[in-house]
Amino acid sequence: MALDAPYQQVFSRQARAAELLDAETELRLAYAWRDQRDEAALHRLITAYMRLAISMASKFRRYGAPMNDLIQEASLGLMKAAEKFDPDRGVRFSTYAVWWIKASIQDYVMRNWSMVRTGSTSAQKSLFFNMKRVQAKLEREAAAEGLVLDQHQLREKVAQEIGVRVAEVEMMEGRLAGSDASLNATQAADEDGREWIDALEDDGPQAAERVEFSHDTERLRGWLVAALRGLSARERHIVAERRLRDEPRTLESLGVELGLSKERIRQLEAAAYVKLRRALEAQSPEVLALL
């Protein structure tokens, strides 16, 4: 649950008022948590560095995320850092925690930037958070040399600077160009304006296609009925049972019904198909294309 504004202010004041740990105390608390799972030591360690988490969260406010949510994500990163911290490596906890806090906040920002997944690889994250800064730096450097970079040149230099492909730079520019918009939003300011979803192309068959399909189907049905009339009663029965049922009957079951062998039923079926094909071809040369 997101922190409300009054609680956030109280939380921030408490974080600023927390003790500052020296290296020796920090190390002792880290060992107590790692070796003895001392929750009091963990709480003291995390509380002492909440000001660091809040400070880092504030740097990401420009991405439009609520500050309350950013602080929560920073807190989660801080707790992950405390869980994985190894005091034997001789590194201060604050130095180690910075990376976990930053990663947690960045993941949250990218997850909530758009309904479309913005990216998950390290290169895509680097583009998302650094592209505008790198673009501005490159433009300043070019201006200092009296040069003006066009969009293609700028993209190439950004790709080279960050270590990604130009196509990835173009894709990220599109993602950062604007936020998500509802297809149910109206195109005009008045309430009677058409919704954007009404402007999407209909993937279904158009009216002319439906009429043409219906006409062709009706013609084909007539040709088939006429062709079936040219078969004997037995041949029509075999064709109907073998091809026109939802669950076609076997040659053996038809043989038992008609008192014929399975092979004879197969021969009658094949002969009936030959008659049908000839009758349909005689109706129109277009019929084979419709079947």
Residue 209 has pLDDT above 90, yes or no: no
Residue 1 has pLDDT above 50, yes or no: no
186: helix, strand or coil: strand
Enumerate long-range contacts of 57-64, CB under 8 Å, 24 or more apart. Answer: 57/101, 57/105, 60/105, 60/106, 60/109, 63/109, 63/113, 64/113, 64/179
Q: Report, in this order, helix, strand and coil percent for the chain, each rounded to 5.
A: 70, 0, 25
Beta bridge partners of 195: 186
> Is the Cβ–Cβ distance between 81 and 101 less than 8 Å?
yes
| DSSP codes joined into one string, 162-213 | HT--HHHHHHHHHHHT-----TTSBSSSSTTSPBGGGGSPP-SPPHHHHHHH
Per the prediction, the chain carries an average pLDDT of: 80
| Structure-token pair, residue 68 | 């309350």
Q: Confidence class of residue 25 from pLDDT cuts 50, 70 and 90?
A: very high
pLDDT tens, residue by residue, 232-245: 889 888 888 888 88
Closest CA relative to residue 105, chosen from 146, 154, 79, 70:
70
| DSSP codes joined into one string, 84-103 | H--GGG---HHHHHHHHHHH
261: helix, strand or coil: coil
Report how far residue 140's alpha carbon sits from residue 289's, in angstroms, rounded to the nearest whole number.
65
Closest CA relative to residue 149, chosen from 130, 159, 127:
159
Exposed / middle / buried, residue 194 (Cβ in 10 Å: 0-12, 13-18, 19+):
exposed
Q: Which of 29-33, 204-208, 239-243 has the lowest mean pLDDT?
A: 204-208
pLDDT tens, residue by residue, 244-290: 888 888 999 988 898 989 899 899 989 988 888 888 777 666 655 55
State the DSSP code for 4.
Answer: P
Residue 181 has pLDDT above 60, yes or no: no
Exposed / middle / buried, residue 233 (Cβ in 10 Å: 0-12, 13-18, 19+):
exposed
Count CB neighbours of 30 within 10 A. Answer: 22
> Is the Cβ–Cβ distance between 87 and 67 less than 8 Å?
no
Give a three-class secondary structure readout of 40-84: HHHHHHHHHCHHHHHHHHHCCHHHCCCHHHHHHHHHHHHHHHHHH
Report how far residue 120's alpha carbon sits from residue 127's, in angstroms, rounded to the nearest whole number.
11
Enumerate long-range contacts of 239-244, CB under 8 Å, 24 or more apart. Answer: 239/269, 239/272, 239/273, 239/276, 242/269
pLDDT tens, residue by residue, 65-120: 888 889 999 999 999 999 999 999 989 999 999 999 998 998 888 777 654 555 55
Report how far residue 150's alpha carbon sits from residue 162's, in angstroms, rounded to the nearest whole number.
18
What local confidence, expressed as pLDDT, does residue 146 receive?
87
Beta bridge partners of 186: 195
Report how far residue 181's alpha carbon sits from residue 163's, in angstroms, rounded to the nearest whole number.
31
